[in-house]
Structure 1
Amino acid sequence: MRNINERYVTEAFDEEGQLTQFDIKTPADFNFAYDVVDDIAVADPDRRAMVWCNPEGEEHVFTFADMKRWSDKTANFLADCGIGRGDFVMVILRRHYQFWFVMLALQKLGAVAVPATFMLKEHDLTYRLQGADIKAIIATSAGDIADTVDAVVAECPSVEALILVNPAGAGLTPQAADGTWLLPEDEPAGPALSGPAGICAAPAVRAGWRDFNSEVRAASAAFARRETAAADPMLMYFSSGTSGNPKMVLHDSGYALAHLITAKHWHNVRPDGLHFTIADTGWGKAVWGKFFGQWLMEAAVLTYDFDRYNPADILDLIGRYGVTTLCCPPTMYRMMTEVNVDEFDLASLEYCTTAGEALNPDLFDFWREHTGLTIYEGFGQTETPLTVGNLTNSTPRPGSMGKPVPLYDMRILREDGTECDTGETGEICIGINPHPAGIMMEYYRNPEKTAEAMHDGWYHTGDTAWRDEEGNY
């Protein structure tokens, strides 16, 4: 174990073991792919990075050495596609393991990853491609997103490369009435892909698109480190706004390091554990729980590449793979109450967290009654990592999302900028003088919206809360 996280953070704790200081140090040339993943790959190559499976029965265990090898091959392929430093690349890959290869490869190239959901409609996709001058699209062949791309790409002249990934499954393989998978004899899928020879084994043939799997398998695994800077744009998400077009939320490499607070002190991951966050990779929550912080802690993640959420399947996976820490939104926990939770082996589970919506106190109580575990709630946005949370060694108050994390100076402010009294509702604001790690760089190409959100020394989240006598939000 490398204790890599300790290179980038200064911490302090009180006598009860609660975190009181958490300061991020971001080296000028920090690059998550090189300085975290490749570092572990060289020094501790057999350390488990990801356990990946799908409903069809395919399963792979990737070490950090595997992640380095496949991301290096992917970087060489993407470079051959003309992708380099500063290019914006849309990534629509569900929960396929190729997502991780791509994200690491784009960081190695200094390109900007733009993850997106496979549920985009034509007008949604057109807005995104034109708004960010997307240079390449890497999309799944599962579902109909490739059809959507083909329908609009002629209107988006910035797009120079279309790259298709065949997942050979993703829970979309047809099933017979008895539940057996209907696998074509001439097409690898499901368990037929299991084993080292099966990585990226299924080709994708579509006019106008390059075949990711075949070309990555053929690419060289030798890739030399390229010059990148921590202050460069690294990742961009389209926020899910309540009105108008979504804003483009731009992050630099400090965002990756800031997720140490998410994984270490909220998810409570440990290097020999297995963390399971269920989010799809099209949403920011995926890198909260399936990527940055967990690998900074040298912990493995479980990824289940499914199509439709089934609570029984998720509960079964916990026991089958020995999941130690779990994070999913309250809605998913609530659906788990509709099956007999007591029938599943949850003995390995040590810690549970939730975010995305308010946690109902009844659900909080149900989970503790049936598993013996507390659900630790947290809060953050596409623009941030975890900013408020019930951290380790705290005692959650049902109905509260916790206290501000010590990485940020956070206040609840009135419209006139003065601080609210205890019990008074106001806007959650985060100090940005100096600009802390993890808070977005800007709303890309939207200086007016950026100025609305960032002014007078504060990032205005637009979300409201009130504070109780103990400091809980």
Structure 2
Amino acid sequence: ISWKRAWRVCETEAQLSCTCVHCQLCLWPGTEGWIASEGKKPKNPALWWVDGDGEEVKWSFEELGVLSRKAANVLSGACSLQCGDRVLLLLPRIPEWWLLNVACMRTGTVLIPGTQQLTAKDILYRLQKSKAKGIITDDSVASAVESVEADCQSLKFKLLVSEGHREGWLSFKDLLKNAPSDHQCATTKSQHPMAIYFTSGTTGAPKMTEHSHCSYGIGLTVSGRYWLNLTSSDIYWNTSDTGWAKAAWSIFSAWSQGACVFVHKMPQFSPPAVLESLSRYPITVFCSAPTAYRMLVQHQLPSLRHCVSAGEPINPEVMAKWKAWTGLDIHESYGQTETVLVCGNFKGMEIKPGSMGKPSPGYDVKIIDENGNILPPGKEGEIAIKVKPTRPLFLFTCYTDDPEKTKATVRGDFYVTGDRGLMDDNGYFWFVGRADDVINSAGYRIGPFEVESALIEHPAVAESAVVSSPDPIRGEVVKAFVVLTPNYISHDPEKMMKELQDHVKKATAPYKYPRKMEFVQELPKTISGKIRRTELRQKEWRRY
């Protein structure tokens, strides 16, 4: 089945059994698929995993097909999972994470990935909220699971992906070794749930964002071909934590193009480890957050040919430095847990530093006002995706078991992202900030990212978060919470604040400078690493 045919059929046939499309499209069962049918068999392994200490694992697409069938038999056999059952997956960057993603699709199991940074309280909330039938993890999280399992009535099994045995847990390695290698995929339809991601959010408890077999399985092929610019000759490294939705992007985006997924075990992001791997291994396509590029900006990386950034906006200065040192552009993008790639700087496009690019195929993106009216170029409003009369295939299905929150995402004919931006005369979109993060000071609307980008350019600033602070004259003013780099911690706070204020006035429009500043040791963050500006803003307003 060809990629174009798969997309066309999936758009028009609601009763399509999508499992076979996934398997053939991404070559997971073996050698079939649109790449093979076009004579483009992958030259690289499907998965190349390293642990940084000399251990490596390489799986060909054929080997991944065999192992995924065996893993699927473990899930449907010893774990008794049925099509539609939910399972929580908490694993670090190890090969089994990718293997179990494929196995769950084969069995029709709804996968709920999560980061290993979750506490026992977090795990309890997710198990209770999702009513997951099982949990798959390793020794590092097992004790936290055991401490809350008595309060999880739906939990029927615990699967351990570690060496050795643990009382009350099934051993994945033992079961996989003895499982048969033939498996018949479950019959799933295009809109059947495939995965649920708990959004970290900036307010309230995490929501369950549900994606179908169509929205991810087919939708992310666009990212692989046109944003990541992948081919079957590429080795692609996405540094995302396995608890983030972007980790799944590497599965579909890469394997649909026959590219190799490179994985470094790396418990935490480590610039030296990243640099060593980029220098040692022939990685050709690199995807990471802007923070990583800021850390790596002064090193030569000869194997790279294509670089992308996602997760948060990247400031133009970093892009310019990266281009000067490596000769490569950073192709920025924009997406959400609820979507696939919404906007991107695709291959062949002129890159405008600071812009998140143009809409991805499959999305009709507009800037709208509070009444759902489309705004003209240059006018700031909310970033929205048209969902009426036809909802895009590549959009999340719903917030699971929460129809009110799902309904609240629609305004008129549009799904509203909750982010503010604008579109220029050439159709490029520009991110301003979260809708509830934008600061209105004496009539001036100030996006926190603009100020944070200016601050991070100063060598004294390690991290910053910008929020509104009440002011009797201007209504609101800009306040910056700043984490200083080690060499500047001992500097006089008053002089340091003045220096940073002057710096911001020069780096961006003077009215955006932070009139208030507070130096802190760390910033509050979500589990996925996003700064909780809402928490800082609420504390700030409660002071007055």
Class of the TM-score when normalised by the shorter of the 2 chains:
0.7 to 0.9
Equivalence for 1:445: 401
Q: What letter is aligned with 1:270?
A: T
Equivalence for 2:206: 246
Q: Show the 5 A alignment for 1:173-252.
A: 203-252=163-212
Q: Which of 280, 303, 309 is matched with 1:354 structurally?
A: 309
Q: What letter is aligned with 1:341?
A: H
TM-align CA RMSD: 1.9
C-alpha spacing 1:38/1:356, structure 2 compared with 1 (3 Å)? closer
Equivalence for 1:429: 384
Contact 1:414 1:426 in 2 (8 A): yes
Per-residue CA deviations over 1:82-129 (Å, capped at 9, x if unaligned) read 111000011111211001211111111111000011111122111111
Equivalence for 2:134: 136
Contact 2:28 2:62 in 1 (8 A): no
Contact 2:227 2:344 in 1 (8 A): yes
Contact 1:278 1:328 in 2 (8 A): yes
C-alpha spacing 1:409/1:110, structure 2 compared with 1 (3 Å)? same
Q: Which of 131, 143, 154 is matched with 1:158 structurally?
A: 154
CA distance in 2, matches of 1:39, 1:245: 36
Quote how far apart the aligned CAs of 1:46 are.
Answer: 7.5
Q: What letter is aligned with 1:29?
A: S
Per-residue CA deviations over 1:53-86 (Å, capped at 9, x if unaligned) read 1122210111111111111111111112111100
Contact 1:33 1:104 in 2 (8 A): no
Residue 329 (structure 2) pairs with residue 341 (structure 1): no
CA distance in 2, matches of 1:205, 1:26: 46
Equivalence for 2:90: 92
Contact 2:285 2:306 in 1 (8 A): yes
Equivalence for 2:238: 277
Q: Give 1 or 2 for the bigger CA radius of gyration.
A: 2
Q: Secondary structure at the match of 2:31?
A: helix
Q: Show the 5 A alignment for 1:11-410.
A: 28-31=16-19, 33-38=22-27, 41-43=30-32, 48-80=45-77, 81-141=79-139, 143=140, 145-166=141-162, 203-255=163-215, 256-288=217-249, 290-337=250-297, 340-342=298-300, 346-410=301-365
Quote how far apart the aligned CAs of 1:422 are.
Answer: 2.1
**Bigger RCO of structures 1 and 2 (CA < 8 A, at least 6 apart):** 1
C-alpha spacing 1:33/1:165, structure 2 compared with 1 (3 Å)? farther
Q: What letter is aligned with 1:77?
A: V
Quote how far apart the aligned CAs of 1:245 are.
Answer: 0.4
CA distance in 2, matches of 1:205, 1:352: 42
C-alpha spacing 1:26/1:105, structure 2 compared with 1 (3 Å)? farther
CA distance in 2, matches of 1:90, 1:355: 25
CA distance in 2, matches of 1:395, 1:112: 39
Identity %: 33
Contact 1:428 1:461 in 2 (8 A): yes
Q: What letter is aligned with 2:232?
A: P
CA distance in 2, matches of 1:449, 1:285: 23
Unaligned segments of structure 2, at least 5 residues? 430-544
Contact 2:159 2:172 in 1 (8 A): yes
CA distance in 2, matches of 1:25, 1:212: 39
Quote how far apart the aligned CAs of 1:319 are.
Answer: 3.2
TM-score, normalised by the number of residues in structure 2: 0.73
CA distance in 2, matches of 1:82, 1:208: 16
Q: What letter is aligned with 2:401?
A: R
Per-residue CA deviations over 1:346-374 (Å, capped at 9, x if unaligned) read 22211101011111111101100110000
TM-score, normalised by the number of residues in structure 1: 0.84
Residue 456 (structure 2) pairs with residue 467 (structure 1): no
Contact 1:8 1:25 in 2 (8 A): no
Q: What letter is aligned with 2:17?
A: D
Q: What letter is aligned with 1:356?
A: G
Quote how far apart the aligned CAs of 1:432 are.
Answer: 1.6
C-alpha spacing 1:26/1:461, structure 2 compared with 1 (3 Å)? farther
CA distance in 2, matches of 1:209, 1:258: 36
Contact 2:134 2:155 in 1 (8 A): yes
CA distance in 1, matches of 2:329, 2:42: 33
Contact 1:46 1:65 in 2 (8 A): no
Q: Which of 349, 353, 368 is matched with 1:413 structurally?
A: 368
Decide which moves more: 56-65 or 34-43.
34-43
CA distance in 2, matches of 1:26, 1:140: 40
Quote how far apart the aligned CAs of 1:410 are.
Answer: 1.1
Per-residue CA deviations over 1:36-58 (Å, capped at 9, x if unaligned) read 34566134687521111112221
Q: Secondary structure at the match of 2:46?
A: strand
